Structure 1
Amino acid sequence: MSGFVEGQVDPAFRAVREVFEASFADGANAGAAVAVFVDGRPVVDLWGGLADTRAKRPWLRDTPVVTYSCTKGVTATAALLVAHERGVGLDDPVTDWWPGYGVGGKDSTTLADLLTHRAGLPVFERPVSTADAADQRAMAARLAEQHPVWKPGTEHGYHALTFGWLLGEFVRRHTGFTVGEYVRRNFGDQLWIGAPPEIAEQAARVGAPPAADQAWTDPAPISAATVAEMARAFRDPQSLALRASTNPLGSYNNPEVLAGGWPSTGLVTTARALARFYADLAAGDLLPADVLADAVRERVRGRDAVLTLESAFGLGYMLPSENMILPETARPTAFGHPGAGGAIGLGDTANRLAIAFTPNLRRDWLSGDRRAYNLIDAAYGAL
């Protein structure tokens, strides 16, 4: 039964379950999971619906699913931990550790620029295949030889796919590991950036509703003019927005894509594991408290050169903005990253809260849709 919800909820957080159940009743979800931790303790662990609507396969307790750009928060944490442990300065030139990177005026680029989407490399200039994308060295070499779209550090624009391979090269050059390998060794064995065959087989099948249902259904607080500008950009094959998000292009139901370990968008995990990651992060178990505090400090905010709407970033973590719309109660202290399919991973050190929502049905084409918003609102309301 597609509307059936299983799992446990602390009585104080029963409103989260009510919101979650309602999302199946009104057809907003096909299959999904949500998890909430407070003070490191699980208070919500729910799942339901269908992992595969075609095969009528139910969503089980440990069903993983690709979480798209939620991956970026995990990848950024890996880079921050490596920088801390290896004593690499955030404002040191990338060419200090990647000598060939300085082509075309990129020699002033810093690690902070990579983390804040200011590198000026939001697109791959040549087509990238699925096989190419599985090779961290090759992807890095492509980016090293490119000229930037803007002078690094002068503006920010969402590096939808390139973000992961840029930071992946930092991790690889300092540890010898891919981001996926480093994450599983240090952060959790259910965070797969590079899913083995048995995990890809268990993963929920992602899909989208009819095109008419994919429009942004509730634009507030984004202006209608901004929504229209974004819509035009995603219809224009020459726009940075479309080019940044469609090369490499591959189905996230393809085991080869899931195995490729795309470090911007390829994280396959459960809501429980993603929320646990943010709970551990907020508790200081993954990064020292001062490193995390600096990382969630706002570094950039304003019109995004790629997406055309407002975005805001700390060091790799997205902050509340038009590109991550959060309830008012969450805005002052929440950080994390949404994913294009509606997923989100969120941490909050002030409220000792961590939340993850992982659906398999893509709805609104802006990341962070109302399903996540409503669940986050209910969780904060229970504190």
Structure 2
Amino acid sequence: MTAVHGQCDPRFSRVREVFDGHFAEGEELGAAFAVFLDGEPVVDLWAGVADRHSGRPWERGTPALTYSCTKAVTATAALLLAERGLLDVAAPVADVWPEFARGGKERITVEHLLTHQAGLPVIEEPVPVEEFEDQAAIADRLAGQAPIWEPGTAHGYHALTYGFLLGEVIRRVSGRSVGEFVTAEIAAPLGLELWLGAPQDVAARAARLSAGERRGTAGTAEGTGTAEGTGTVEGTGTAGGAQALSGAAPDTAPDAVPRVSGAATPPGDPLTEMSRAVLDKDSLMNRALGNPPIHLLKGGANHPVMLRSGWPAVGAVATARGLAGFYRDLVAGRILRPATLAGAVRRRVDGRDMVLCVGSSFGLGYMRPALTFLTPTAGAESAFGHTGMGGFLGLGDVEHGLGMGYTMNKMTGAVSNSLRAYRLAEAVYGSL
């Protein structure tokens, strides 16, 4: 049996039981879960291995690439600039990035970027590996494109482009990359174990992501996810962008079609539509997920380039405690003013997602409860945050005084086996 390390307040003993159960059932390789309640640490658990090949143990300070949990951090940087009067989220992007005003994008606002309404979920031209660390060059590619839909009329998950677009706005306004800004203005002052652009020593001890068990599906894909819910719609890929975004080890190939535990999806069901999109290499979903093509790097997202590049959509490296601490400090008003946060978590878009094919909901950069951000009933109106592909979760809740962070390295692909973060969150809410 895998030994679980750390501390857990007796009031949250159910959380430890769930965490331990995930290892007992073989659902985890290595993982960590941290919770703050009203600013106080009540859960800080870790267990397993950080690298399945070497057997390196998961330790208290083991960080992991958290994929799209990053988006909430990048949104917070933009909102901090807005709070300081340096950025108007209602104004056109072109006001701070004049080259952006091409191809019918003159009226796209910063809010459109934050709410995935810009119509730019895809980079049309292939991004060469040599350009992966040149975020400004990738942003320039997007500046030359036309929107796929009329901005502001629909929303669709900008899986990778979100970061390059919003990151360029932040760079133009602050003179710093998102990673530099977050370190100087948020992470370092608050002592958070969170980096957008991991230093060499942090990258060296980072967990190595893996796809888990082989399921007998043909193919050599490293796919581990398309939509990034807490486990609801993480269908995996042997096709297109789903594999391209993956950072899992190449010795596995999870199922290609999303599944709901024990249930078939009827024709016209959103999950059925999503399943088709996963398998269609030309779908908007796979095009959005597949460029820049991370799979061209040896080891995918485990490659040093990905750990140090700090892509503002998927590049944050953090410990569970660092991720939970970020939400603790947001909830406590130590990063943004309470009024700023309240306005930012208000639902701005809700309903069918043009890219993910299922329902999603966003405030200004923060996910709100929906099929892509499954939340216990007690948090259905108050929780906010962001998930990361494979199962990562960062969650805040002002009403309940909560900050949570869940990190792991077994990036599951089957919906029936990927509700780990939800179960942990459910145990937290149930313990209040």
Please confirm whether the aligned pair reaches a TM-score higher than 0.5, indicating the same fold.
yes
Relative distance call for 1:14 and 1:82 in structure 2 (3 A) is same
Cα distance in 2 for residues equivalent to 1:367 and 1:267: 27
Match of 2:72 in 1: 73
- Secondary structure of 1:149's partner? coil
Q: Tell me the amino acid that sits aligned with residue 263 of structure 1.
A: P
Q: Provide Cα deviations, 1:160-182, integer angstroms capped at 9, x if missing partner.
A: 00001111011101111111111
Q: Provide Cα deviations, 1:320-370, integer angstroms capped at 9, x if missing partner.
A: 111111111121100000001200000000101011110101113679941
Match of 1:381 in 2: 430
Cα distance in 2 for residues equivalent to 1:158 and 1:369: 20
Deviation at 1:248, TM superposition (A): 0.9
**Mind listing any 5+ residue stretches in structure 1 that lack a counterpart?**
none
Cα distance in 2 for residues equivalent to 1:97 and 1:222: 48
With normalisation by structure 1, the TM-score equals 0.96
Match of 1:342 in 2: 391
The answer to whether the aligner puts 1:20 opposite 2:64 as a matched pair is no
- Secondary structure of 1:58's partner? coil
Out of 205, 208, 211, the residue aligned to residue 208 of structure 2 is 205
- Secondary structure of 2:379's partner? coil
- Secondary structure of 1:62's partner? coil
Deviation at 1:220, TM superposition (A): 9.5
How many residues are matched?
A: 382
Does structure 2 retain, via aligned residues, the 8 Å contact 1:120–1:156?
yes
The answer to whether the aligner puts 1:238 opposite 2:237 as a matched pair is no
- Secondary structure of 2:94's partner? helix
Does structure 1 retain, via aligned residues, the 8 Å contact 2:259–2:414?
no
Relative distance call for 1:221 and 1:37 in structure 2 (3 A) is farther
- Secondary structure of 1:187's partner? helix
- Secondary structure of 2:357's partner? coil
Q: State the identity as a percent.
A: 50
Equivalent positions of 1:1-383 (< 5 A) are: 3-189=2-188, 190-209=193-212, 210-211=214-215, 214=255, 216-218=258-260, 224=266, 225-250=269-294, 251-364=300-413, 369-383=418-432
- Secondary structure of 2:41's partner? strand
Q: Tell me the amino acid that sits aligned with residue 294 of structure 1.
A: G
- Secondary structure of 1:286's partner? coil
Cα distance in 2 for residues equivalent to 1:222 and 1:381: 29
Q: Provide Cα deviations, 1:126-165, integer angstroms capped at 9, x if missing partner.
A: 1113331211211111111111111111110000000011
Does structure 1 retain, via aligned residues, the 8 Å contact 2:345–2:384?
yes
Deviation at 1:262, TM superposition (A): 1.0
Deviation at 1:68, TM superposition (A): 0.6
Deviation at 1:200, TM superposition (A): 1.3
Cα distance in 2 for residues equivalent to 1:324 and 1:112: 20
**Mind listing any 5+ residue stretches in structure 2 that lack a counterpart?**
218-253, 295-299
With normalisation by structure 2, the TM-score equals 0.85
Relative distance call for 1:248 and 1:283 in structure 2 (3 A) is same
Q: Provide Cα deviations, 1:246-273, integer angstroms capped at 9, x if missing partner.
A: 1112211101111111110111110000
Cα distance in 2 for residues equivalent to 1:369 and 1:133: 30
Deviation at 1:196, TM superposition (A): 2.0
Range 244-253 or range 84-93, more displaced:
84-93
Does structure 2 retain, via aligned residues, the 8 Å contact 1:340–1:367?
no
Cα distance in 1 for residues equivalent to 2:148 and 2:417: 27
Relative distance call for 1:29 and 1:267 in structure 2 (3 A) is same
Cα distance in 2 for residues equivalent to 1:119 and 1:49: 41
Range 202-211 or range 59-68, more displaced:
202-211
Cα distance in 2 for residues equivalent to 1:123 and 1:378: 37
Does structure 1 retain, via aligned residues, the 8 Å contact 2:122–2:291?
yes
Does structure 2 retain, via aligned residues, the 8 Å contact 1:342–1:367?
no
